[in-house]
Amino acid sequence: MLLCPWGFHQNQMKPFERENNVERDILLIDYARKEGFTESLALRPVAKSIYNQVLNDIKKVSSGDIINCIFAGIEMCDVSFADEFIINLQKLVMSVDNALLRIMDANDYVQENLEGALAIRNKKDRTKICLLIFSNNNYTIIGDIEKNLKDTFSVIIANYQITAREIAQKYDIEINSASNRLKKLFDLCLLQRKESIDEMGRQHLYYLPK
């Protein structure tokens, strides 16, 4: 019997069903060039224009979709751009069940400004929006989340998929609390999920795309 690092029965989980997820890549450098920029993304009107172009190109975000927002080649992205483009894109993704936005190849400077934009927007609108960074095959979160959610997330990234029951066992908490933690992360669009049926019954399997 295979055991996960914290001792769960890995063979209880169904293999990760990649075919359900459609990945869409948004190569931002291409859009930046169309706007006359070569290595930066700045200003709100530019962000609005790129947002409309992207919507036009990806047509529709559907349930289970993974949107990869790729910053390769972008040296700088200002807070206004981050707010108007990235945060609005995340809001759009959050409105679609089980969709996920991944920020990829964002350098420290871009990430710092994304963090700045999130902090101000969340404070101003009293919202709770976070972003998922995928870099070097590793996930991190930008934005303010509670410590217990951070801990839960770190458990998920160690194994890419998990159930509420496993979280409950790991932290010795009620299954409802574990389920709430995962649901919160899912609602923030930081995880995807699918239904899994095994000998323990029907449950949600929360995961991060590998």
Q: How far is the CB of 73 from another protein (least distance, A)?
A: 13
Q: How far is the CB of 138 from another protein (least distance, A)?
A: 24
Q: How far is the CB of 108 from another protein (least distance, A)?
A: 9
Nearer to another protein, 90 or 113 (CB): 113
Exposed, middle or buried by CB within 10 Å (0-12, 13-18, 19+), for 183? middle
Nearer to another protein, 42 or 104 (CB): 42
Sequence-distant (6+) residues with CB within 8 A of 139 are: 132, 133, 153, 157, 208
* For another protein, the closer CB: 78 or 166: 78
In three-state secondary structure terms, 199 is coil
Nearer to another protein, 102 or 121 (CB): 121
The nearest distance, CB 79 to another protein, in angstroms, is 4
Query: Is the separation of the CB atoms in 166 and 8 below 8 Å?
Result: yes
Q: Are 78 and 41 in contact (CB under 8 A)?
A: yes
Q: What is the DSSP letter of 75?
A: -
Q: How many CB atoms lie within 10 A of CB 202?
A: 8
Give CA 84 to chain center in angstroms: 18
CA atoms within 13 A on the CB side of 65: 20
Cβ proximity to another protein, 98 vs 113, nearer residue: 113
Q: Which is nearer to another protein, 7 or 45 (CB)?
A: 45
Residues in contact with another protein by the rule CB under 8 A: 35-40, 42-46, 76, 78-80, 83-84, 109, 113, 116-117, 119-121, 124
Q: How far is the CB of 5 from another protein (least distance, A)?
A: 37
Q: Which of 46, 31, 143, 39 is nearest to 91 (CA)?
A: 143
Q: How far is the CB of 9 from another protein (least distance, A)?
A: 47
